[in-house]
Amino acid sequence: MALGIQLLLIFQALLPLTLPEQSFCTEEDGGWRLSPYSAVQEEEQCTVDKVDSSISYAEFLKQYAYKRPVILKGITDNSEFRSLCTKQNLLQEYGDRLVRLSTANTYSYEKLDVSFRQYVEHLLKPQDVNTLGNDTLYFFGDNNITEWGLLFDKYTPPPFKIPGTSGAYSFGIAGSGTGVPFHWHGPGYSEVIYGRKRWFLYPPDKTPEFNPNRTTLSWLLDTYPFLPEEDRPIECTIRPGEALYFPDRWWHATLNLDTSVFISTFLG
């Protein structure tokens, strides 16, 4: 690829994206969005199938459950859960509770316990492009079910289960530009309650090119633009009202385009 095109791709990826003004009222963003700019953009073309609530369970099992990712649109109503996840409400209910943060690298062994208020007021911020994943703290999962159970009871997961599995939740909140680099595990769903999350996926037999200690953001800027067409991931950005399903052992990496509140349902 010519150097000029490579520079243009990097420039485009860095170009701030102006969001529509209505996005900034607190009802729309639950009080979470910290900045009117997002450091990174949505993909040019979403390459994950999207289906609406007319899909049957039989069709889900046949077409997607064991074969490929899919985004289910409008399949559950989580408006009550969403109203409980505003910044003001969560700080009021959980501000003094401890949350466990993990580093945002593929093999994340470092953990840090801080109060939820300390996380929200001091650590929740946009990703610094020069900071490594193993030096970035991410709040996702490790949730104390006794403390967060009342909130999780109000969440309605996507209705389609994989036979022989049951669901376990991982809840998180993270700044724009943050995310988890490529990894894989069992099947599950991911939903954003506030914000947007860009997903990158590869089938189990196609190991992506990535550095496990670098952030998804640095992968997007340094690796993604130079991938030949056939090595590009399947990708899409999800927003509230959409649930992304990833099958067993599919590689995936995430990137929060805004400050995001999100929940995964792991089917194990």
* Interface residues toward ligand AKG, by CB under 6 A: 140, 172, 179-180, 188, 190, 197, 252, 254, 262, 264
- Give the nearest distance from C-beta 72 to ligand AKG in angstroms: 15
- Give the nearest distance from C-beta 235 to ligand AKG in angstroms: 14
CA atoms within 13 A on the CB side of 187: 21
Q: Closer CB to ligand AKG, residue 95 or residue 186?
A: 186
Q: Closer CB to ligand AKG, residue 10 or residue 43?
A: 43
CB of 216 closer than 8 Å to CB of 181: yes
Gap between the terminal Cα atoms of the chain: 43
- Give the nearest distance from C-beta 54 to ligand AKG in angstroms: 26
- Give the nearest distance from C-beta 172 to ligand AKG in angstroms: 6
Q: Closer CB to ligand AKG, residue 116 or residue 138?
A: 138
CB of 248 closer than 8 Å to CB of 186: yes
Give counts: helices (H), strands (E), the chain.
8, 14
- Give the nearest distance from C-beta 1 to ligand AKG in angstroms: 29
Q: Closer CB to ligand AKG, residue 215 or residue 254?
A: 254
CB of 136 closer than 8 Å to CB of 175: no
Q: Closer CB to ligand AKG, residue 40 or residue 180?
A: 180
Q: Could you give the maximum distance between any two Cα atoms of the chain, in Å?
A: 56
How many angstroms separate the CA atoms of 142 and 24, rounded?
30
